[in-house]
Amino acid sequence: MSRAFSTITFTPAVRAAQEQYGSRERNSLFEEDSQERNAIAQRERAFIPDIDTFFMSSVGANGWPYVQHRGGPKGFLKILDDHTLGFADYAGNRQYISAGNLMNDDRVMLIVMDFAHRRRLKIWGRARIIHDSDEPQLLARLQMPAYRARVERGYIITVQALDFNCPQHITARFTEDEFAAMIETKESQ
């Protein structure tokens, strides 16, 4: 059994590139991993509720990829069950590129970031859009009542693969709250 992400990403062209650049042998170990990693496990359950930002890619009908930043209060990306994530889509610039792309191709990828701790989780999934008129109870589960933004729709993502990625080139960055907590800790010592 292989990791779900290697099944999705290690296409013949990717394997050829790995061979060309000398990493094929090391990467073949992903294909022999006994853990498929296509379900939200304890490690992801500990990580996801603490994030406040991620990037979501989709693909347009013309084949061009599109990446959009998604942000909100910690916990805005919700774990709905072992295979499902969701988030409320708040009013923004009204271009609807991700929403339009999903009308053609439901595949998405999330890069979920924790800059302060230099951690990154990659999630491949299939997304669908929900509206209050169709699924009000599900959309209500995605909302953050204390967050003062208008919800336009929700995204439900069925997880296909997950992979934590190496932190080597992630620059540590801190939110105001994280920075304030560091100052407070330093001053109390």
What residues have CB less than 8 Å from 101, skipping those under 6 apart? 58, 59, 60, 61, 66
Mean pLDDT, the chain, whole residue set: 90
Give the domains, in start order, of the chain with CATH numbers: 1-35 (no CATH), 37-188 (2.30.110.10)
30-54 pLDDT, tens digit each: 877 777 889 999 999 999 999 999 9
128-144 pLDDT, tens digit each: 999 999 999 999 999 99
What residues have CB less than 8 Å from 111, skipping those under 6 apart? 54, 55, 57, 120, 121, 122
Rounded to two decimals, the pTM is: 0.88
Task: Please tell me which residue, 181 or 11, carries the higher pLDDT value.
Answer: 11
Tokens of 178: 């994280």
Taking the CB of residue 48, how many other CB atoms lie within 10 A of it?
21
Tokens of 92: 């923004």
Greatest mean pLDDT among 2-16, 76-90, 109-123, 173-187 = 76-90
Residue 172's pLDDT band (cuts 50, 70, 90): confident
